Structure 1
């Protein structure tokens, strides 16, 4: 007789609780105002990847957002690892997880004399890393499509503040799926330059050089940084620069980077083939190098989830 597995545990402001009991107030500023910052880290072979760097970036976002978490980076790292270890027994062979941080400014009750909590709400949870929706793109490449909506200008909200207010990204992603249900969005800034994807950064390869937008209009992604580091080790010239849609239309290769899938090749841009319409050699080399760095065959892991 099979036993029911124990519930996954989540952390909410000092308490480790079963997921179903991990709740916040309807008056929390994350709900009332979308006033929260976030980070998502993944594991490889059950080991967190660049977790300390994710937490450092989280604290940069907290500072600019004027949210005091009430604990040091070292304390948060320790707590995060406790949450992860508490859920490690639920990991199956070959599985990996997200480790997600959401931190809000706390309770914010509206009114003529609004009440604001002085304590942040800290939420940490893990979740199974489901790669099935991206798996086929490693072989086929995805269809990159520009959205009608533009990036929020950095003068209004700097994209380097990784925040939980994802409405603009969600709308942009929805718009691209009107063109192709499987499309992955390319969001432009208000000047027409390539910015980012709903949850990732964008790269183009032209004449053997790796190009990616500067961080003036996009998140300084840690997956983006990993690719730039790997490119350096492989001897691929790389630089940050402004890119226009023309540069993606005429690129030899295009790919996205993000925490869960690492590198997602794009073989079509707004209906036109990228390069020869196949996943390119530099993209494949970078994927292989990342797999070697992580100790996990990234492509094989995703394809295995398809069964």
Structure 2
């Protein structure tokens, strides 16, 4: 595949040549606001919703992107159209935004008056092979020792690039099971999220999910609410404990790349009957209809292409 072009501060450069300063706020302060959107059949899915959340994160983080939301949307579509011809028809894309406050003076910790924000827009091929088997068998959700930061320290609704905490959590659960998916708790022991997605369970035909007090209000999470209402399945936000997963009938994660990832085991205990449940399957089917692509089949084809 021809090398993707990256948008970086007003210029298009090959991905291998895209560089930022070591004094950029992303590196010197670990300060980056981010969004990740995906395409279905090369059409960006809920791009506007992702960008609206990006701008809310920027406002809460107290720096801006140097352009209005409408301009960012048009620019994003332009970046994708420049790269789109290099993507085969059966390969979808990540569209990634990373925004930093720009240069900071290391000695004083202050932003120079002339410094502008750093804006990066990247597209990458979406490899779904890792998640393909989970649609059929479900994944193993495991709670790590690491806890999410409390909202009093950093509000989880600010989608930021720091993956330190989440990477630690993932490494911890993979000591227990190499294919485990982290289900992180907050400091009070309530369910939160995993490294890049939200969590849901089903009990007595009602879908339940943690509130956004301690987790990101994912765009995929919002889509589940939309589909549940469409299918007339009750759904609610509430505080959930590990006990609720252990005794649930079904469970699943949601995230931009895989949409829905069933979970059939929790901390070594079977969830429900140990199979992907009917409500989860109905949601996968409804999502596929929504986007015009069989999301399970697409992941399986991605897996087969590597074998």
Asked if Structure 1 and Structure 2 have the same fold, meaning a TM-score greater than 0.5 normalized by the shorter chain, the answer is yes
Of the three residues 15, 22, 27, the one matched with 2:23 is 27
| d(CA) in 1 for partners of 2:62, 2:162 | 15
Tell me the equivalent position of 1:208. Answer: 205
Question: Secondary structure of 1:275's partner?
Answer: coil
Of the three residues 75, 86, 89, the one matched with 1:90 is 86
Where do 4+ consecutive residues of structure 1 move more than 2 Å? 112-118
2:304 is the alignment partner of 1:288 = no
1:123-162 equivalences in 2 (<5 Å): 123-162=120-159
Aligned length in residues = 303
Question: Secondary structure of 1:203's partner?
Answer: strand
Tell me the equivalent position of 1:261. Answer: 258
| d(CA) in 2 for partners of 1:122, 1:52 | 17
Cα 1:115–1:221 shift into 2, 3 Å: closer
Question: Secondary structure of 1:109's partner?
Answer: coil
| d(CA) in 2 for partners of 1:28, 1:34 | 9
Of the three residues 239, 243, 251, the one matched with 2:240 is 243
Cα RMSD after superposing both structures: 1.0
TM-score by length of 2: 0.97
After superposition, the C-alpha distances for 1:249-273 in whole angstroms (9 at most, x for unaligned) are 0000000000000000000000000
| d(CA) in 1 for partners of 2:27, 2:108 | 19
CA contact (8 A) 2:130 2:303 kept: no
Structure 2 gaps of 5+ residues are none
More strand by share: 1
| d(CA) in 1 for partners of 2:56, 2:110 | 27
Structure 1 gaps of 5+ residues are none
CA contact (8 A) 2:37 2:45 kept: yes
CA contact (8 A) 1:68 1:119 kept: no
1:77-116 equivalences in 2 (<5 Å): 77-112=73-108, 114-116=110-112
What is the CA-CA distance between 1:32 and the residue it aligns to? 1.0
After superposition, the C-alpha distances for 1:51-103 in whole angstroms (9 at most, x for unaligned) are 00100000000000011211000010011001000000011121100000000
Tell me the equivalent position of 2:116. Answer: 119
Tell me the equivalent position of 1:16. Answer: 12
| d(CA) in 2 for partners of 1:221, 1:37 | 15
TM-score by length of 1: 0.97
CA contact (8 A) 1:150 1:189 kept: yes
2:226 is the alignment partner of 1:225 = no
| d(CA) in 2 for partners of 1:143, 1:6 | 37
After superposition, the C-alpha distances for 1:22-76 in whole angstroms (9 at most, x for unaligned) are 1111111101111110000000001000000100000000000011211000010
| d(CA) in 1 for partners of 2:23, 2:105 | 6
What is the CA-CA distance between 1:173 and the residue it aligns to? 1.1
Cα 1:71–1:244 shift into 2, 3 Å: same
2:234 is the alignment partner of 1:234 = no
Question: Secondary structure of 2:21's partner?
Answer: coil
Of the three residues 178, 192, 202, the one matched with 2:189 is 192
